[in-house]
Chain A
Amino acid sequence: MNFHTSIIALLPEYVLTLTGVLIMLVEAVLKPGTSRKPLGWLAIAGTTAAGFISYYQLRLGTLTAFSGSIQVDAFSVFFHLLIAAVVLATLLGSLDYFEGHVNLAGEYFALVLFGAVGMMLMTCSVELLMVFIGLEISSISTYILAGFRKGQGTAVESSIKYFLLGSFATAFFLYGIALAYGATGSTAIAAIAHGLATSATPHMAFLALGMMIVGLGFKVSAAPFHVWTPDVYQGAPAPVVGMMSTAPKAAAFAVLLRITFSGFPLMEHRWSMLIWGLAALSMTIGNLGALKQNDVKRLLAYSSIAHAGYLLVAFTAFPAAGISAACFYTAAYAAMNVGAFAVVTQVGGYNESLRTIEDYRSLALRRPVLAALLAFFLLSLIGIPFTGGFFGKFYVFNAALQSGHVWIVIIGLLNSGVACFYYLRLLASVYAKPEESTEALASAAGSSTVDLTASLDSTSAVAISVPAGIALALAAAAVLMLGILPNHVLHLANFASASLR
């Protein structure tokens, strides 16, 4: 019985690990020149299977395994599904990305899967050491993935920066675990909650929580632990950024929700003020920082800092509404950000020849469908109604307001006003006419129009591949569905919230 539960509880992780190992084995025997696409399809199949298994677990109720260190409940299933969906979209979007550029692309697919295993493990662990193991697994694979465009200076910089700062942050997290053990006598989240009531050293316990918030704050790139984000995002391959700006963050938020709401509920009045500050700071710094960015990936990096801030607002709310709002926001944010980076992947290509806002100018003329999708994702990031981003913000701010936190809501909404500015700058550029100089030339001499169309043709020659198209369509459908018919996901989020409390 016990053995049986242990298999069922971690079945998605097992499937992903086995697929990853299989990919590495096959990779070793494939000839260097052959296409690695079949390996990508294998990874996609594995991820889909893991997703379905997670969904199946939902029916089994709450499962506990491995001496109570793993708990599969609606909350963990929600995040499992989310991570599986993000990984699936990433794999689909990057199936052709490395083709012809990197020899050992099989490693990439395996690393993505291993990263997913780590993230999933984080969301279903109720034992802090287990969380730490998951965190390390996911971090190490993202460190490597960040530098996967080998031979490019920015990629190496990105990887090393992420690695050095990331390991520093995980050390904080580990230190927090040690302090929590010292203060409450346990590293299991439930036992910590229990021990907290009778702890002789509440200050130490709070310090422990603070350390863990620092560690996780780094992972979700909340200000003031955000400095790595723009550089890393700029250097890492675009599809990888799409994943690492969403899935590991979702996992880290899940851990943060578990630790705060079920590990330290007694100290809610204290940590909610702490997170209040982090949220206000992240929103403000993220949005103000993005205003001046010219590189689209850096711009989206700052935007992701701001979005971490919006999400943290949910933590200040009462548990019932706050947790489900946070879950919903994570899902909406994941959908729109993965989508936005999928577009960036398609626009830039492997060499990222088109990077700046100026490069995106009149994208709508060259690739209208891609431009329309980008516009849609950007509108969702702004938080325009009938998109997932709007409902995400709505639920988060509504939850905070019902708990009486008016000011953070006002700060947040004013911030989203500031945020419009840079999203619109990109959007305006995408829909702008070709540069004024060429326009003037074209009107001056009719012949130069021919050059103009020729130059447009050369850049628009790349068509979107079918898998990448599927990924984009999935992301857009998810954003739209979350914006028009949010009931289903909201129901799941409420269910998740109920299972956590």
Chain B
Amino acid sequence: MNIDHIILTLIVFVPLAGALLLALLPDRGKTMQWAALAVTLFTFLLTLHLPFHYSYANPSGVFQFEQNLPWIASPVIRYHLGVDGLSMWLMVLTGLLAPLGVLISWRAIDSRKKLFYILFLLQQVAMMGIFVSLDLFLYYAFWEMSLIPMAILISTFGRTKRRHIAAIKYFLYAFIPSALLLVAMLWVYAKTGTFDLPKLATLAAQHAISPSSAALWIASLGFLLAFSVKIPVFPLHGWLVDAICEAPTAAVMVLAGKTALYSILRFSFAIFPEQSHRIAPLMIVLAVIGIVYGSLLALVQNDLKKLAAYSTLGHLSFITLGIFTFTVAGLDGGIYQILNHGISGGAFFMLLGLLYERYGTYDIREYGGLAQKLPWIVTLYAITTLSIIGLPMLNSFVGEFLILSGSMQSPFAHRHILTALATTGVILSAAYMMRMLQRVFYCDLGSKPQAIAGWDLDTREHLALWPLVVLFLAMGLAPSLWTRSIDTYGTAVNAAILSPAAPTSIQVTSLQTTAGGAR
């Protein structure tokens, strides 16, 4: 049976159907966990359909598995879904993280399981929707929708009494810029009469959206601001630490980064190529500040979650840096690094959650000497840490290397200084990760491990973690499996944004050889 034409709809709506199913099932024993696991696994299998049936020969901008139906007559809104090299692996990643999130919450969430898993599945629906929507309006609907389950998850299942503040902070930080995004979108619609992304991209390439460059500039800022808050980019990260500290593990795994970075790549770059080029120097500087600032703060944290939060800020800033260089290497590396961050960061948060489950604290000072007691956990911890640091042969190395080499070739001023500064982030991340590893697992036995017995990984936890560890290696050794589709996108954006600016045919080829060499 050929399901190519409805596969995307299935991927979006299977979790929704699952959420309805969970609402009807009785919340007894482990019913919720098993049902949620079944639904998320099934969704993951559906997402795997994409890479196996994707036609890699197609250039970017050609969407596959498309579905394009009229939804609302006036204003013209269509149910337009599609996938290209950019979004395909992101969907698989989202699909993969969901069952792992369920596995890791198995015991951690012990009351109000029904509410938790329903919200978790709704979050899944919203994220999948974001990745497949090619109609601005439809996209916006999913984008807004993604805020709600997350805010309720944080506010209901948060760890401390600060959970309400964290949830409201998260919601307002995301919602208010989204309101401006809506204004910008409506303005684009008023000018062009369409919400359809491929059409808008064509119009943008012909400079036909609006003759007023000032208005276009403001609209592009409306888009970019909403996305930057959600990544977050340096001065807009106020919500991140609170949200990460409060949110339960499964929610944290999908909290930051992916959707917003994707949105910049998909919408900002396509609809506002020139404006994106104009703002890029600022974004690059902010990204470099974010890298250094996040890494330095991570160095002095005594709370594991806070450390992870600042480390997240640093790593997401790396990605921002990469994509705003508009070089093929930077774009490819950035997108690859989104995937890496998803799995490495996800694994890291899962391991933190496991420790918390055992010892009930995130305070580094109360740990110590765990290595002798929990050999499996320490092994996986070390591998994950090395992956985050960017050890060669593991996944993040490829991404970070590409990003830095892209940044070195970027067409903007002061690129050498900025790249050098960004590189300190790699060193600093090694420093804080090693410090953390040493103080949690080595040294003398800490107060908590002395008081509480703890136990090593059980089968369920092994099942949740090993797939990611295998992926670390696979993505570090054979990145071309993934970059094959990503590269079509990176090359297209590079050509669209940089080529009109400068006659650089030599530069482009040299970039490609470098990028290829790096791989």
Residues of A whose CB lies within 8 Å of any CB of B are: 364-365, 379, 384-386, 390, 394, 397-398, 401-402, 406, 409-410, 413-414, 416-417, 420-421, 424-425, 427-428, 431-433, 436, 486-487, 490-491, 494
Cα distance A365–B115 when bound, in Å? Answer: 10
CB distance from B118 to the nearest CB of A (A): 10
If A410-B183, A431-B156 touch, does A398 touch B151 (CB 8 Å cutoff)?
A: no
Question: Could you say which residues of chain B place their CB within 8 Å of the CB of A432?
Answer: 155-156, 164
Question: Could you say which residues of chain A place their CB within 8 Å of the CB of B74?
Answer: 490, 494
Q: Are A490 and B73 in contact (CB under 8 A)?
A: yes
Query: Which residue of chain B is the closest to A324 with respect to CB atoms?
Result: B74
Give B242-281 as 1s and 0s: 1 = Cβ < 8 Å from A's Cβ atoms: 0000000000000000000000000000000000000000
CB distance from A373 to the nearest CB of B (A): 13
29 contacts between A and B (CB under 8 A): A364-B115, A384-B144, A384-B147, A385-B141, A385-B144, A385-B145, A386-B141, A386-B145, A397-B183, A397-B186, A398-B75, A398-B186, A398-B190, A401-B190, A402-B190, A406-B183, A409-B186, A410-B183, A413-B179, A413-B182, A421-B168, A424-B168, A428-B152, A428-B164, A431-B115, A432-B156, A490-B73, A491-B73, A494-B74
CB distance from B116 to the nearest CB of A (A): 11
Cα distance A413–B184 when bound, in Å? Answer: 11
Whether B175 is near chain A, meaning CB under 8 Å from some CB there, is: yes
Q: Are B168 and A428 in contact (CB under 8 A)?
A: yes
Cα distance A486–B75 when bound, in Å? Answer: 11
Give B143-155 as 1s and 0s: 1 = Cβ < 8 Å from A's Cβ atoms: 0110110011001
A-B complex: 9 closest residue pairs judged by Cβ atoms: A385-B141, A413-B179, A417-B176, A401-B186, A428-B155, A385-B144, A402-B190, A431-B156, A398-B186
Cα distance A385–B171 when bound, in Å? Answer: 15
Cα distance A308–B190 when bound, in Å? Answer: 25
Whether B452 is near chain A, meaning CB under 8 Å from some CB there, is: no
Query: Which residue of chain A is the closest to B177 with respect to CB atoms?
Result: A417
Q: Are A487 and B72 in contact (CB under 8 A)?
A: yes
Cα distance A486–B152 when bound, in Å? Answer: 27
Question: Could you say which residues of chain A place their CB within 8 Å of the CB of B167?
Answer: 424, 428
Give B410-424 as 1s and 0s: 1 = Cβ < 8 Å from A's Cβ atoms: 000000000000000
If A410-B180, A490-B72 touch, does A401 touch B144 (CB 8 Å cutoff)?
A: no
Interface residue ranges of B131-185 to A (CB < 8 Å): 140-142, 144-145, 147-148, 151-152, 155-156, 161, 164, 167-168, 171-172, 175-176, 179-180, 182-183
Whether B187 is near chain A, meaning CB under 8 Å from some CB there, is: yes
Q: Are B142 and A385 in contact (CB under 8 A)?
A: yes
Cα distance A406–B182 when bound, in Å? Answer: 12
Whether B359 is near chain A, meaning CB under 8 Å from some CB there, is: no
Q: Are A384 and B148 in contact (CB under 8 A)?
A: yes
Question: Could you say which residues of chain A place their CB within 8 Å of the CB of B217?
Answer: none
Question: Could you say which residues of chain A place their CB within 8 Å of the CB of B180?
Answer: 410, 413
Interface centre among A379, A401, A432, A436 (most CB of B within 10 A): A401
- Chain B contact residue count (CB 8 A cutoff): 33
Contacts A398-B189, A420-B175, A425-B168 known; list 13 others, CB within 8 Å: A365-B112, A379-B148, A384-B144, A390-B144, A401-B190, A410-B180, A410-B183, A413-B179, A413-B180, A424-B167, A428-B152, A431-B115, A431-B156
Q: Are A424 and B171 in contact (CB under 8 A)?
A: yes
Question: Could you say which residues of chain B place their CB within 8 Å of the CB of A379?
Answer: 148
Question: Could you say which residues of chain B place their CB within 8 Å of the CB of A421?
Answer: 168, 172
Give B106-140 as 1s and 0s: 1 = Cβ < 8 Å from A's Cβ atoms: 00000010010000000000000000000000001
CB distance from B198 to the nearest CB of A (A): 22
Question: Could you say which residues of chain B place their CB within 8 Å of the CB of A384?
Answer: 144-145, 147-148
From B75, B152, B168, B189, A431 is in contact (CB under 8 Å) with B152
CB distance from A478 to the nearest CB of B (A): 17
Interface centre among A385, A416, A420, A490 (most CB of B within 10 A): A385
From B145, B151, B179, B189, A416 is in contact (CB under 8 Å) with B179
Question: Could you say which residues of chain A place their CB within 8 Å of the CB of B186?
Answer: 397-398, 401, 409
Question: Could you say which residues of chain B place their CB within 8 Å of the CB of A436?
Answer: 161
If A401-B187, A401-B190, A402-B190 touch, does A431 touch B176 (CB 8 Å cutoff)?
A: no
Cα distance A416–B180 when bound, in Å? Answer: 11
Q: Are A424 and B161 in contact (CB under 8 A)?
A: no
If A431-B152, A431-B156, A490-B73 touch, does A385 touch B140 (CB 8 Å cutoff)?
A: yes
Cα distance A409–B147 when bound, in Å? Answer: 22
Cα distance A409–B152 when bound, in Å? Answer: 28
Question: Could you say which residues of chain A place their CB within 8 Å of the CB of B171?
Answer: 420, 424
Question: Could you say which residues of chain B place their CB within 8 Å of the CB of A414?
Answer: 176, 179
CB distance from B247 to the nearest CB of A (A): 14
Q: Are A413 and B148 in contact (CB under 8 A)?
A: no
Cα distance A487–B76 when bound, in Å? Answer: 11
Query: Which residue of chain B is the closest to A375 with respect to CB atoms?
Result: B152
CB distance from B221 to the nearest CB of A (A): 13
CB distance from A215 to the nearest CB of B (A): 32
Question: Could you say which residues of chain A place their CB within 8 Å of the CB of B172?
Answer: 417, 420-421
CB distance from B114 to the nearest CB of A (A): 9
Q: Are A486 and B72 in contact (CB under 8 A)?
A: yes
Query: Which residue of chain B is the closest to A412 with respect to CB atoms?
Result: B179
CB distance from A417 to the nearest CB of B (A): 4
Q: Are A417 and B73 in contact (CB under 8 A)?
A: no
Question: Could you say which residues of chain A place their CB within 8 Å of the CB of B145?
Answer: 384-386
Query: Which residue of chain B is the closest to A484 with respect to CB atoms?
Result: B71
Question: Could you say which residues of chain A place their CB within 8 Å of the CB of B141?
Answer: 385-386, 390
Question: Could you say which residues of chain B place their CB within 8 Å of the CB of A385?
Answer: 140-142, 144-145
CB distance from B188 to the nearest CB of A (A): 10
